[in-house]
Amino acid sequence: MHLAIHNWMRAEPLEKTIDRIASQGYHALEIQGTPDQYDTKYVRQLLKSKGLKCWGSVTLMMEERNLLAKEEAQRAASIQYVKDVITMVKELDGHMVSVVPGTVGKIVPDSRPEEEWEWAVESMKECYDFAEKSGLLLGIEPINRFETYFINRGDQALALAEAVGPNCGVCLDAFHMNMEEDDSVAAIHRTKERLVGFHVADNNRMAPGMGTIDWPKIVSTLKEVGYDGALSVEFCPPLDRTPATPYPGSIDENPEGLSPEQLKFLEDHGSSAFTEEFYSMLTQKSIDTLRPLL
Ligand code: LER
Ligand code: MN
């Protein structure tokens, strides 16, 4: 197992992110699914120059992106988006793509369950065939009920992965599991054959070690089931606007380079823009908690 980190949680130049994570001792980046934004030749060089790898990417299911949308054209555009993310990861010599099938923040369905399931399977099959040809793995990621009504638990992701194809994987996320699973350890055991990615944040979505999740137990369970991929750090902190805040000055009042869509995406995760100092503290805290457990 090795340590990776996502970069969608704060808008900043990739050079800055890469410098920080290299100096803190991370091994890899799970790069945000924004293929339009990256020149892969340049990013590959940048990673290499700091001794880092690209582990994979995560789909950012914002705005109209939805693999089980009612409208066929919307599904087609969402499939093309996932294919573009796969191509980006291939060009970065990465390994996998975590796929959230529905739009983040869409918590009310607008079609019948049978129809949606069929659309989700069809869309995922198209993405899967493309990933297979590219030599990459897909991991369907369950997220909590306040971000999607569709896939919230490992068993649901497993059912979808089984309907999609023999190599279709599942990506679990300790933060979401803590909210939705009856037993996270048992869920890891049930998913083991298809586990291709694992995201980490604590129960309050702060850095691992800043909440109540039993990290030694989670990491030893991953070892027990033979998971040998990345632990991808993905905190997305709540921002305290009251005088009770333990982190005064953590809110970034004038975020640079944050588009309205990205801001909405952060808000749909219960977070917002935060300062570089706060971010660096969280990336450091994550590695301090996890590195001794690897
Ligand atoms: C993505 O990995 C995730 O965990 C979400 O909350 C959906 O973007
Ligand atoms: Mn995740």
Tens-digit pLDDT profile for residues 152-171? 999 999 999 999 999 999 99
Tokens representing 237 are 């902190």
Name the CA radius of gyration of the chain, rounded: 18
Confirm or reject: Cβ of 100 under 6 Å from ligand 1.
yes
Cα–Cα separations (whole angstroms), residue 248 to 133, 243, 260: 49, 8, 24
Mean pLDDT of 131-135: 98
Atom of ligand 1 nearest to the CA of 173: 4
The pLDDT tens digits of the residues spanning 66-98 come to: 999 999 999 999 999 999 999 999 999 999 999
Catalytic residues: 141, 234
Instruction: Give the global pTM.
Output: 0.97
Tokens representing 14 are 């990739």
Q: Give the pLDDT of residue 131.
A: 99
Confirm or reject: Cβ of 233 under 6 Å from ligand 1.
no
Torsion angle, alpha carbons of 257, 262, 268, 271, to 10: -20
For ligand 1, atom 3, which residue shows the shortest CA distance? 143
Confirm or reject: Cβ of 173 under 6 Å from ligand 1.
yes
Confirm or reject: Cβ of 202 under 6 Å from ligand 1.
no
Q: Give the pLDDT of residue 62.
A: 98
User: In angstroms, what is the span from residue 176 Cα to ligand 1's centroid?
Assistant: 9
Q: Give the pLDDT of residue 135.
A: 98
Q: Give the pLDDT of residue 237.
A: 98
User: In angstroms, what is the span from residue 243 Cα to ligand 2's centroid?
Assistant: 30
Shortest CA distance to 56 belongs to which of 36, 81, 35, 42?
35
Contact 5, 19 (CB under 8 A): no
State which fold the 2-293 domain adopts. TIM Barrel (3.20.20)
Tokens representing 160 are 């979808």
Separation between Cα atoms, residue 145 and residue 162, nearest integer Å: 22
| Other CB atoms within 10 A of residue 284 CB | 15
Confirm or reject: Cβ of 234 under 6 Å from ligand 1.
yes
Does an H or E element contain 14, and which? Answer: helix 14-24
| Other CB atoms within 10 A of residue 67 CB | 28
Atom of ligand 1 nearest to the CA of 236: 6
Question: How confident is residue 15, by pLDDT bands cut at 50, 70 and 90?
Answer: very high
Mean pLDDT of 231-237: 98
